[in-house]
Structure formats: structure tokens, C-alpha cells
């Protein structure tokens, strides 16, 4: 199914707030509940928040920032709702996100950080060409060079 990306806005913020990940993912990854996450990021000028849809069903969310004074972008959060995980939506959604970031003429690098136990995330990011650069305190840092 085709995945589309739309910005978080007044028309979809309540639907976005209802997205959730599994209890295990909350406990191990320290990702806050969506309401907390949306509040935390809403006032930050350099952070953009996007939602992902399969048809008219919201299936995921991402937040990223353009690091001021650099040509680097950082994916801060990327998640697929627990009801839609392992259904292929993550691949389509992440492709949409990468396409958007790479479309910026100044984008030379995309960075991401994830928990070292998250094999599904690792497999997804490696599939898209990310290279792991560091691992510490339970996190893995990875980069993708853009052309």
C-alpha cells in the first residue's frame, strides 16, 4: 500500500496523540507517550514533525531536525503504531522520510540513534544504507551520507 507523509497539524494532532508503541518498546527505549512527545517538540523551531498514512489511516510518526549551521539532519523519532508494526509500513514510511530529507539541497548527512537491542530498527536502517558509527550506553549511532 502507498504510504504518504503529512505534517503534524491541528487537523491530525489528536489522531497522532493516539499512536502508540508496545509496552516493551516504551520500557526499553524510553520514548515518551505521544502526548508528551508532541508537547515536548511543539515549541522547537528547528524540529519538524511528520505523520505517515496508509490510505486515510495514520500508521506512524517521525520528528527530525536540521542541525543549525550544518548540512546534517537528525532523525529524532521514528515510530510505527503497534497495530501496524511488522506490516511493511515502516519501510514505506522511512523511504518517504529519507526522500524528504534528501530533497534538501544542503543535506549531506542523515543521522539516527536507536537502542542496541532493537534489531528491527537496525535491519531497517541498514537496508537503507545507514552505517553504524558508534555504540555506547545501550545506543547505536548511525549515519547515511547523501549525494
Number of domain units in the chain: 1
Domain that holds residue 46: 3-145
Residue 25, pLDDT > 90, answer no
CATH number at residue 84: 3.40.630.30
Residue 30, pLDDT > 70, answer no
Q: What is the pLDDT of residue 36?
A: 79
Residues near 115 by beta carbon (within 8 Å), at least 6 away in sequence: 28, 29, 121, 138, 139, 140
Tens digit of each residue's pLDDT (9 = 90 or more) over 38-78: 887 887 888 999 999 999 999 999 999 998 889 999 999 99
Tens digit of each residue's pLDDT (9 = 90 or more) over 4-20: 999 999 899 899 888 88
| CA 34 – CA 61 distance, rounded (Å) | 9
Q: pTM for this structure?
A: 0.89
Q: What is the pLDDT of residue 29?
A: 62
Amino acid at each position: 500500500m502507498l504510504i504518504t507523509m503529512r505534517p503534524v497539524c491541528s487537523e491530525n494532532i489528536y489522531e497522532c496523540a493516539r499512536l502508540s508503541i508496545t509496552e516493551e518498546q516504551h520500557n526499553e527505549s524510553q520514548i515518551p507517550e505521544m502526548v508528551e512527545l508532541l508537547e515536548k517538540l511543539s515549541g522547537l523551531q528547528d524540529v519538524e514533525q511528520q505523520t505517515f498514512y496508509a490510505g486515510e489511516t495514520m500508521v506512524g510518526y517521525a520528528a527530525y531536525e536540521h542541525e543549525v549551521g550544518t548540512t546534517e539532519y537528525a532523525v529524532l523519532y521514528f515510530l510505527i503504531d503497534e497495530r501496524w508494526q511488522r506490516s511493511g509500513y515502516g519501510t514505506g514510511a522511512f523511504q518517504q522520510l529519507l526522500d524528504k530529507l534528501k530533497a534538501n539541497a544542503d543535506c549531506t548527512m542523515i543521522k539516527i540513534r536507536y537502542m542496541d537491542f532493537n534489531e528491527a530498527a537496525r535491519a531497517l536502517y541498514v537496508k537503507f544504507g545507514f552505517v553504524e558509527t558508534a555504540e555506547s550506553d545501550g545506543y547505536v549511532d548511525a549515519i547515511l551520507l547523501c549525494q
